[in-house]
Amino acid sequence: MEGSLRTTARVRYGETDQMGVVYHAHYVVYFELGRTDFMRRHGVEYAAMERAGMVLAVVDMGARFHKSAFYDDLLSIETRLTEAAGIRVRFEYRIYRAAGPDGQGEETLLCSGHTVLVCVSRASGRPMRIMSPWSEKIAAAVSSGFEAEPRGARS
């Protein structure tokens, strides 16, 4: 999908509950994996921003769970940057169970969600605009959101 980036991760045993299902809080970690990979691949390194005195703090997050992920599933995390205005950035995510090991079959949509982050001064803790050159790189990566998922699609 244009404007999005795919990152893969494998479900580890410690991320599951006693039924072998991924515990819901781990999806926040998968969102972060997708987001940091997206930023890095667009030339924006969080560590460099932090050294320059900026921190991106999550101020809003939401997730909708469609199907369960299980131990050893290969996940495909699709990340899209849909807003970058002044101090705010918004990312949208779709997490899929990848097609079978032989490449056969369809992906299964497991979770969709978003995070909104605000740029904050590391020194004062107050909101601040994202500085150059990061602001330009972030603005160049913005695309529209995901199209609505038709009911029952990919599941």
**pLDDT, tens digit (0-9, with 9 covering 90-100), for 24-83:** 999 999 999 999 999 999 999 989 999 999 999 999 999 999 999 999 999 999 999 999
pTM, two decimal places? 0.88
Is residue 155, in this structure, part of any structural domain at all? Answer: no
Task: Indicate the number of domains in the chain.
Answer: 1
Inter-residue contact 123 to 79 (CB < 8 Å): no
Rg of the chain in Å (alpha carbons): 16
- A 10 A CB-CB count for 93 gives 26
Task: Return the closest-CA partner of residue 34 out of 136, 115, 142.
Answer: 115
Whether residue 97 contacts residue 69, with contact meaning beta carbons closer than 8 Å, is answered with yes
Give me the CATH number covering residue 25: 3.10.129.10
Residue 146 falls inside a structural domain: no
In a domain, 13, yes or no: yes
- Domain encompassing residue 79: 4-140
Q: Is residue 72 part of a domain?
A: yes
Give the Å distances, CA to CA, from 107 to 79, 122, 138. Answer: 16, 40, 29
Q: Is residue 153 part of a domain?
A: no
| Of 87-91, 93-97, 103-107, 131-135, minimum mean pLDDT range | 103-107
Give the pLDDT of residue 4: 83
- Does some domain include residue 25? yes
Instruction: Establish if 83 belongs to a structural domain.
Output: yes
Question: Within a domain: residue 134?
Answer: yes
